[in-house]
Amino acid sequence: AASRSEDRESLTSTNQNSTSVTVSAPNSATAASVISYAKSFVGVAPYVYGGNTPSGWDCSGFVQYVFASVGIGLAHSSGAQAGAGRAVSSLAQAEPGDILANSTHAAIYIGNGMVVNALNESAGTTYSSVGIAFSGGYSIRRVL
């Protein structure tokens, strides 16, 4: 079981463009806190294949990092993340904070058919519609 302190310290990371990213980790493992934390990286954290820190991460590294901030350990593989937690039967049943993943991509559902994800090198960490982020099938997994 993971332990969480009551007070979380701010995390500062410098990405490859020497841009400093400072965000405060969530105090609780709620969907709202996870989504807020994930959104704080939009536009500032670059996509780097194999990475799993705000200095540069790929899709599954981003999901892994965000959930680790609230004490939830996930593998650094979108395929493994597609089997984490409990299955959700359809996008209509998905809730903000669920993970969408398949063998090639992973993202965090934020509602209204949208995800936050590390999409690719040109977009970096961004918002996408589910249809843009996933061209094929995907699993919806609830870990919170």
- Active site positions, annotated: 59, 105, 117
Structure tokens at 31: 């969907």
Q: Which of 113, 70, 48 is nearest to 134 (CA)?
A: 113
**Pair 53, 12: CB distance under 8 Å:** no
Using alpha carbons only, what angle is made at residue 104 by residues 100 and 105, rounded to the nearest 5 degrees? 35
Alpha-carbon span 90 to 134, nearest angstrom: 14
Residue ranges of alpha helices (H) inside 6-127 are 31-39, 59-68, 78-81
